[in-house]
Amino acid sequence: MAKIVFKHPQSLKENIYHYCPGCGHSIVHRLVAEVIDEMGIRGITIGVPPAGCAVLAYNYFDVDMIEAPHGRGPAMASAIKRCLPDRVVFSYQGDGDLAAIGIAESLHAANRGENITVIFINNAVYGMTGGQMAPTTLLNQRTTTSPAGRKKELDGHPVKVSEIFSQLGGTTYIERCSVSSPAGVNKTKKAIRKAFQCQIDGLGFSMVEILSLCPTNWKMSSIDSCKWIDDVLSKEFPPGIYKDNIAEAKNTAEAAP
């Protein structure tokens, strides 16, 4: 009998995505679902989707989910995890949700060292509302609310969430990845798995920032979008591991009486 090498993840419902063609959410949803399947944690996972394009994530993930008001995912996820410490709790957030309206909730959940995982989609633009400037929009990048390009004098600078969060005492594992290439997709999946494992081992706050495609609002083809991530976006937001205290946290946990 032939060996199955590719199938629909069990933790992903068979609904058709509402996402635009080429959107990175579809890839990341699948990666998260594959990790949940492989780790066998579907029954104990609770997800918190954001306001933004992924607001309908509960139509796709076949795990328990609760919608958060815009930006409040990490506050909700913190409470859920504190009440149910043996569940796996993740918040799924975009760049507006995490780095603008929800920066306080996100930063303080990270700083408290909440034992949750944040999947952070950075596509440098507000997708759902139609392509407005995001906190991660690049300088001189044109959006519908920065029609002449983002000006640092008026709009400030791109917010580098992984760099900032890695400075916080409460964070254990922070990695920035990209889904612009097959290698990047594989790396992203590994990072998501590592982040979930960090949580399961009780080691504290983990976040995977993912540079993701938004061909519709970037007004590019999917292929050009991938190229733009590699050539432009990842120069401002270099992929890499920004913090990995997993080994240290493990030692501390083992040394504890």
Partner 1 sequence: MNKVLMSGNNVIAEAAIRAGCRFYAGYPITPQNELTEYMAEHMRNAESGVFIQSESEVAAINMIAGAAATGVRVMTSSSSPGISLKQEGISSMAACELPGIIVNIMRGGPGLGNIRPSQGDYFQATRGGGHGDYRTIVIAPATGQELADLTMDAFDLADKYRTPVMILADGMMGQMMEPVIFKKPTPRQYPEKFMLRGAGTGKSKFIRGLLLDPIDSEEHNWKLARKYEVITKNETLHEEHRVDDADLVIVAYGTAARIAKGAIKRLRDHGMKVGLFRPITLWPFPELKLRALSAKVKDYLVFEMSTGQMLEDVRLALQGYANIEFHGRPGGAVPTPAELANVVAKIYDRKD
* Interface ranges with partner 1 (CB under 8 A): 42-46, 48, 55-56, 58, 61-69, 72, 75-80, 82-84, 87, 104-105, 107-108, 112
Whole-number minimum distance, CB 72 to partner 1, in Å?
4
Instruction: Name the minimum Å distance from CB 51 to partner 1.
Output: 8
Least distance to partner 1, CB of residue 256, Å: 19
- Minimal distance, residue 210 CB to partner 1, in Å: 23
Backbone angles phi, psi at 4, to 5 degrees: -80, 120
- 5: which residues sit within 8 A by CB, 6+ positions away? none
Give the nearest distance from C-beta 61 to partner 1 in angstroms.
Answer: 8
Nearest-approach distance from CB 255 to partner 1, in angstroms: 24
Residues 93, 101: contact at Cβ < 8 Å?
no
CA dihedral of 24, 30, 32, 38, whole degrees rounded to 10: -150
Q: Which one, 40 or 182, has the nearer CB to partner 1?
A: 40
- Judged by phi (left if over 0) then psi (alpha if -120 to 50, else beta), residue 56 lies in alpha
Distance CA 156, CA 121 (A): 20
Q: CA–CA separation, 45 vs 40, rounded Å?
A: 10
- Whichever of 46 and 226 has its CB closer to partner 1, that residue is 46
> What are the backbone angles phi and psi of residue 171, rounded to the nearest 5°?
-90, 145
Integer Cα distance of 194 and 189 in angstroms: 9
Closer residue to partner 1 (CB): 55 or 177: 55
> 7 by DSSP, 3-state: which?
coil
Closer to partner 1 at the Cβ: 111 or 197? Answer: 111
Query: Cβ closer to partner 1: 84 or 223?
Result: 84
Cβ proximity to partner 1: between 80 and 124 the closer is 80
Burial of 239 (0-12, 13-18, 19+ CB in 10 A): buried
Smallest gap, in angstroms, from Cβ of residue 45 to partner 1?
6
How far are the Cα atoms of 73, 125, 130 from residue 108, in angstroms, in the given order? 12, 24, 29
Cβ neighbours around 50 below 10 Å, total: 29
Task: Between 47 and 158, name the residue whose CB sits nearer to partner 1.
Answer: 47
